[in-house]
Structures are given as C-alpha cells and as structure tokens.
Chains A and B, each alone.
Chain A
C-alpha cells in the first residue's frame, strides 16, 4: 500500500507521492493536530468525562485505605499513603489508556461510515491511533489540576528513581498501544455480530480483575497473579503504575518493557489478521 501525502490535494492535479514512512508520520501528526484542536474546544465535556473517571479510583482508594486502617495501618504491604500514590498515578494511566472504543466500530459498521474510510489509501486503525494519541496532551493538561487536588486530599507517598520515571514515561505509551490494539480487534468482531456490548463488558471485567485496575495485583490471590502473568492486561495498568510507585528493581522495569513490546507485536498481528477476514464481510448500501 503506497501512502499519499496527508494534506489531500484533490483539486491540484495528481497527489504528491512521498515515502511510506514520511507519509505515515504525516498522517499521525495531522490526526494529532486535529485532535488537539477539536478537544480544546470541548473543555467542559472533557472535564465531565474526566471527573466521572476519577470517581472509580477514589472509590477503590477509600475502600482499601479503610481496610488498611482496620488492619492496623497496612494491608499486604500497602499503607493508605501508598494506596493514594497507586490510585493517583492510576488516574493518569487510565487517561492515557482511553482509546477507540469497540462501540465505535458498531456505529461505523451499522451506519456505513466505514465506506468513506475505506476509500482512503489508509488503514482505518492508523487514524484512530493518531487521533487518540494526539488527544493526550490536552488530557494531560486537564489532568494536572485533578492530580494536584487528589494529592492534596489523600497525601500520596512515592519516591521513584530517575530510571523508574523514564520507564514510566515509556510504559504509559506501551500501555496505550496494547489497549488500543486489543480494543480494535474486539471492535472488529462487530463485522460478524453487530453488537459488541456483552463481549466488551466481559473484556472489561477481566481487565478489572487481572490488570491491577481494581486493586494492586499483589493483593489478589496467588492463582489470579499467575493467570495475570500470561495475559496482556497487567501491562496496561499494573506495570506502568508499579514502575512509578512500586520500587521495582532495574531488571523488573526492563523486563516489563520487554513484555509490553511482546504484547504490542501480538496485538498488531492480531488486528491485521482479524481485519483481513473481517473486511470481506462488510457491505453497505450508502455511507
């Protein structure tokens, strides 16, 4: 597939052909600029969304802090201050983890919007990756005051090493890619079923329990942790958070990044394979 320069110049003769890598980079940057410009307009909407999202970790934080206090100050090695650090970092990881939802695929397919996307010489998932990544600077900007308020309320305790900070900076993008790719694959299921709701909720339930989203994995039973080891979920929540707050060893940090890379490769291959079969089933009357 050859890629066309992003600033589509239909009216000015034949399109300018550039190298695939340049072209792809152009697409990502354009999508990102688009996302920033769009989302900056809807600050209230963005804040409503983020506040709704903050409720989730605050609930977990309060419940587990209560348990810790009842158990004489800590539970499973976590003090309320460490829970606070865990769940405040959680909020950033969760925001980076917002990706194109499988429900979006329902709509694209049911309403035939996909037709126009297919006409472009561009893999639709590339557009999603670029757009949602571009949204992130806006999200991080809006997140900062929320984090400050949470830190003031809950007194987090953390002391990350410089290496941990660097690994965290990389790992949140690893998490973004893994979650994006998995959810895109899940979304493609709608080529067969039209409805993805129950399947997606099953995915979210598994993620809640097996990723460290609900509770740090070290607080779950042994068999849950073993199960989490062989699944992708923990690399999207538990690992990035623990990289910053968990005082992981250098070896664990690098091994974690390796595991993320592995799941990114698996996710990319999966999405490509599913797409090849899925797209054959697509038909639309208009779009």
Chain B
C-alpha cells in the first residue's frame, strides 16, 4: 500500500500547486472543446458517406471517441508529466535525487508530477461517453460498468508501461524529446476501433503500442462487444508488460551515470 500512499501524497501536493493557476482551467476547457469539435466534424464527414464503419454505428464511434478523450486525459494528468520529468532528469543528471531517496525509484519516478487541469479531458470524455450511451439506448448494468472500469485501469497500466519503457531508452539515447510527439501521433489512431486497421497495424496497435487495450477494449465493454477472453488477455498482457517494464527499468538504471546533479 505504500506506493499508493506515496502516489496520493504527491497527487495532493501537485494538485494544490496547480490549483493556484485558475486561468489554466479555462484554457484547458477551450482546448478540449476544440478537440471534441474537430472530432465530431470528422465523424460527421465519414458518416455523411457511409451508414456504418466496419459494422460500428455512429453512436458507437462516439462512445469510442469518449473513451479516447477520457483515457487521453488520464494519461495527460498522471503519466505524461512524470515521464517528461524523468526524461529531463535523466538528461540533466538530476534523476540522482530520485535514486537516493529511501523509496522505490520506479514508484517515485512515476508519481512525482501531476497536471491537474488535464482532468478536464476526463470529464469531457465522460460526458461524450454518456451522450453516446444515451443515443445507443443500451442499459449499462453493474457488470458492464465493472468490466469497463477494469478494462480502463488495465489499459492505463499498459500505456504507462509503454511510456516508461520508451523513456528508459533515454539512459542510452539522451535526446528523446520527440517521444511525446510520437505517442501523441500514434495515440490518435485510438479514435477509431482497431478492427478498421489492416492486420499488421492492428497487431502493432494491440501489442506494440497497446492502444487497442486502452481505448477499444473499454469501449467494447460498453457496446456489448466484450468477451471474457478479451478481458482475460488484457489482464495477462498487462501483468507481462508490467514485469517487462520493471526488468527493463532496472537494466537501464545500471547504465546510468551522472557526473553531478
């Protein structure tokens, strides 16, 4: 439970710090609104040409967009700021400060930062999702809700693992500033259910960059497409990825040499 307590502590401090800058809330809201507006325009363009996309109805794709925005907000609030700080710390040698503390270095490196205003995306995504579910007219029982929550957490953990693995590469290749752009670009593919992509790309988006697990699978839980098998695969893969990440992180740490900090 210690990691969770640490996380909560850092979260509170980080949130308090960011809450000083109220105007950022409005800026973030504006940015989220623009992103949603563009997304809706794209959906409208596509569905003005076809009634369904690979078997997905417009409202179902709206649900996918909601989950995509929600997950993007979670990553932006909790994962991305930590990974960017870690990247800079490795380059500048200041990661030593985290390594010398009497806590697990990976945990510490993963919870230090929080960008609280990105939570706006979580809320906006949830609203879009609610509207989509309303349009679909399906009833979400406690079982579906639970499956959705589990799938979301598993997906989030996988994205975190992916990001930490890439950031760990910074121990060898110092300049990886572009990783944020790389992720941002690839993450956009999650706006569409992965089954529209050709086989090789679908596999990459599932196991290489686990966007399928992060967005499509939770969306499946709410549109009656999720099978027990998929959820079990997600669970196993998340565990494998977490172990792999941990191993690679420790391997990377051995390559770290900071002259001073």
Contact = CB atoms under 8 A, between A and B. Distances in A.
Interface stretch (A22-30, A49-57, A172-180): A49-57
B185 A51 contact: yes
Interface in B233-260: none
B23 to A, nearest CB: 9
A82 to B, nearest CB: 15
A48 to B, nearest CB: 4
A51 B181 CA distance: 9
Interface stretch (A9-17, A63-71, A252-260): A63-71
Contacts, number: 94
B201 interface: yes
Interface stretch (B49-57, B122-130, B215-223): B49-57
A146 interface: no
A187 B34 CA distance: 19
Contacts of B50: 67, 70-71, 75
Interface string B144-167: 000000000000000000000000
Contact of B186 (A55, A67, A153): A55
A197 B35 CA distance: 12
Contacts of B177: 45
A66 B181 contact: no
B34 A205 contact: yes
A59 B41 contact: no
Contacts of A56: 185, 188
Interface in A201-237: 201-202, 205, 208-209, 214-215, 219-221
Given A48-B176, A48-B179, A56-B188, A63 B46 contact: yes
A51 B182 contact: yes
Interface residues of A, number: 37
Given A45-B175, A198-B27, A209-B38, A55 B189 contact: yes
A71 B49 contact: yes
A53 B175 CA distance: 18
Interface string B40-83: 01100110111011100000000000000000000000000000
B27 A59 contact: no
A44 B173 contact: yes
Interface string A28-52: 0000000000000010111011011
A62 interface: yes
Given A56-B188, A219-B49, A49 B34 contact: no
Contacts of A157: none
A150 B181 CA distance: 20
A145 interface: no
Contacts of A208: 38
Contacts of A215: 45
A195 interface: yes
B37 interface: yes
A58 interface: yes
A264 to B, nearest CB: 27
A76 interface: yes
A187 to B, nearest CB: 17
Contact of B198 (A48, A62, A75): A62
Contacts of A209: 38, 41
B: contact size bracket = 35 or more
Contacts of B232: none
Contact of A63 (B53, B176, B178, B200): B53
Contact of A214 (B42, B184, B185, B189): B42
A205 B182 contact: no
B194 to A, nearest CB: 10
B186 A52 contact: yes
B197 interface: yes
Interface string B180-208: 01111110110110001110110000000
Contacts of B16: none
B31 A55 contact: no
B178 A48 contact: yes
B30 interface: yes
Contacts of A75: 49-50
Contacts of A59: 188-189, 191-192
Contacts of B27: 195, 197-198
Given A63-B46, A195-B27, 4 more contacts: A48-B178, A53-B181, A62-B196, A219-B45
Interface of A: 42, 44-46, 48-49, 51-56, 58-59, 62-64, 66-67, 70-71, 75-76, 153, 195, 197-198, 201-202, 205, 208-209, 214-215, 219-221
15 contacts: A44-B173, A45-B177, A48-B181, A51-B182, A52-B181, A53-B181, A53-B185, A55-B188, A67-B49, A67-B50, A70-B53, A70-B54, A71-B49, A208-B38, A209-B38
Across the A-B interface, the 5 shortest Cβ-Cβ residue pairs: A52-B185, A52-B182, A48-B178, A55-B185, A49-B178
